[in-house]
Amino acid sequence: MNRLDGKVCVVTGAASGIGLRIAEVYAQAGGKVAIADLNREAAEAAADRLRDAGGDAMAVAMDVTDEAQVVDGIAAVVAAWGKVDVLVANAGIQIVNKITDFSLADWKKLLAIHLDGAFLTTRECLRDMETRREGGAIIYMGSVHSHLASKLKAPYVTAKHGLLGLARTVAKEAADYGVRANVICPGFVRTPLVDKQIPEQAKELGISEDEVVANVMLKDTVDGEFTTVDDVANVALTLAAFETNALTGQSLVVSHGWFMQ
Ligand code: NAD
């Protein structure tokens, strides 16, 4: 169970945080892992570490919003390893602001990374999967914000809701050749993305950083605890290794009970 021996896995945003942990767990499970990230240096360092630990890894420098870079990046993975079996569309950013203060540029930037990036990487991986007809898994990194809204996060909430629609469409279109598509919806995880938000939210809401953690981020969890990168990576492993179309078009919420569906 939960082995990925010989499976070629592309993880975007894998140079940091949740994506990095997924890459490590996939490599430990026998997967060949392409660390696709905007940050070339960090991607190469992560791939080196995985190889040093006995895994199979390559770095792919890629801005997921750039069509040519995504086309070339996925082509480089197929050239190196012959195929793509698993895509984790995980690259993401956060920008917090009131709607009335949001610039159109920030709105577009966030939607481009989360939605254009998910679309472009999906399209390129599905083109390979459709040709080979050997199945596959597409996993989107959603959020509790795929189901709920919070103040100050209009484009993020919009993008994360949008990923549910993309996953459900892929689940229908690609079932014919055995590809499953699902969304993981984590609660707050302590990564650079969240660490940056805590002081920003404190300033915007006029409360202390401790209050942001206790009264905003973890208020509705069952135990006041952060979700961890391991929690999310283990779910990502199960979804990647799952063998039938029984589990497709779903969202799995991993949030200490913050959101219960
Ligand atoms: P992180 O900041 O630690 O890592 C994000 C990675 O994405 C970085 O390595 C960054 O270089 C990369 N990236 C950013 N823009 C990119 C682009 N245009 N092209 C390619 N790579 C790009 O963040 P994280 O917390 O690990 O977040 C990963 C995903 O998980 C995001 O989609 C985020 O929305 C989602 N998520 C995070 C949390 C959380 O609490 N941390 C909760 C729910 C969902």
Average pLDDT, consecutive stretches of 10 residues, N- to C-terminus, the chain (261 residues): 94 98 98 98 98 98 98 98 98 96 98 99 98 98 97 97 98 98 98 93 92 95 98 98 96 98 86
- Catalytic residue IDs: 156
Domain residue spans in the chain?
8-187+228-254, 190-226
Atom of ligand 1 nearest to the CA of 13: 7
The pLDDT assigned to 211 comes to 96
The pLDDT assigned to 78 comes to 98
Number of neighbouring beta carbons within 10 Å of residue 131: 11
Contact 20, 46 (CB under 8 A): yes
Q: What is the C-alpha radius of gyration for the chain, rounded to an integer number of angstroms? A: 18
Give the binding-site residues of ligand 1, using a 6 Å CB cut-off.
Answer: 12-13, 15-19, 37-39, 62-65, 90-93, 113, 141, 143, 186, 188-189, 191-194
257 Ramachandran zone, left/alpha/beta (phi>0; psi -120 to 50): left
Q: Where are the alpha helices (DSSP H) in the chain?
A: 17-28, 40-52, 67-81, 104-111, 117-132, 154-174, 192-205, 209-211, 229-241
Q: From the CA of 3, how far away is ligand 1's center (Å)?
A: 25
The pLDDT assigned to 201 comes to 87
Contact 14, 36 (CB under 8 A): yes
| CATH number listed for the domain at residues 8-187+228-254 | 3.40.50.720
Q: Give, in order, the Cα–Cα distances in Å from 103 to each of 43, 98, 193.
A: 30, 10, 20
